[in-house]
Amino acid sequence: MSVPVRGACRCERSRFRLTQEPIAFYLCHCTQCQAESGSAFGQSMYVRTDAIDEIEGPIAEHVIEDEDGRSAVLGYCKRCLTVLWAGRVEVEAVRGLNAGCLEGTAGLTPYGNMWTQSARPWVAFAPGPRFEASPDDPLAMIHAWQGRPRDPS
Ligand SMILES: [Zn+2]
Ligand SMILES: [Zn+2]
């Protein structure tokens, strides 16, 4: 993936630019990601918050309290309700970007899978490690992404 890359919501009124490579990109097969994405898994792309710039359009942020008592912030388009990014309120430096909003990243393959115990039986896993649930090491997916094999080019 060559940065910068542009992203937009479904209606394309809300836009942003990503200026740095992700710090992790994996698939999460948990039931929460399935519900939120409306798909079989969530594409978890973590980026530095300061790598998101040129933010424009009718974007608002909404804070929800999860069952574990921690608060999540969702950045969304007020017109079409696409969620552009999400993150922990207390971890301001990192955001999970909606990878489906990015343009021209078809060549970027996720590396790693978590919550395979709730994966749909027909799903094809991404390359890289597979964790039945959340890995004990919270940085496991970041390290996996950094150590992934690169195309020789
Ligand atoms: Zn929109
Ligand atoms: Zn998940």
Q: Does pLDDT of 152 surpass 70?
A: no
Give the confidence band of 138 by pLDDT, cuts at 50, 70, 90.
confident
Query: Is 115 in contact with 8 (CB distance < 8 Å)?
Result: no
Q: Is residue 147 part of a domain?
A: no
Please name which ligand lies nearest the alpha carbon of 114: 2
Total residue count of the chain as it appears in this document: 153
Q: How far is the CA of 91 from the centre of ligand 1 (A)?
A: 25
What pLDDT shows up at residue 118? 97
61 pLDDT higher than 70 = yes
59: CA distance to ligand 1 center in Å? 8
Asked if the structure places residue 104 within a domain, the reply is yes
Q: What is the average pLDDT across 94-105?
A: 89
Is pLDDT above 70 for 20?
Answer: yes
Centre of ligand 1 from the C-alpha of residue 150, in Å: 34
What rounded mean pLDDT belongs to the chain? 92
Q: What's the domain count of the chain?
A: 1
Ligand 1 ion: nearby residues, β-carbon < 5 Å:
9, 11, 13-14, 77, 79-80
Has residue 113 been placed in a domain? yes
In a domain, 129, yes or no: no
Those residues with Cβ within 8 angstroms of residue 77's Cβ, 6 or more apart along the chain or in another chain: 9, 10, 11, 13, 14, 57, 58, 59, 84
pLDDT tens, residue by residue, 76-95? 999 999 999 999 999 999 99
CATH number at residue 38: 2.170.150.70
Tell me whether residue 57 is in a domain: yes
Q: Is 52 within the bounds of a domain?
A: yes
- Cα atoms found within 13 Å of the Cα of residue 141, Cβ hemisphere only: 27
pTM score, whole prediction? 0.87
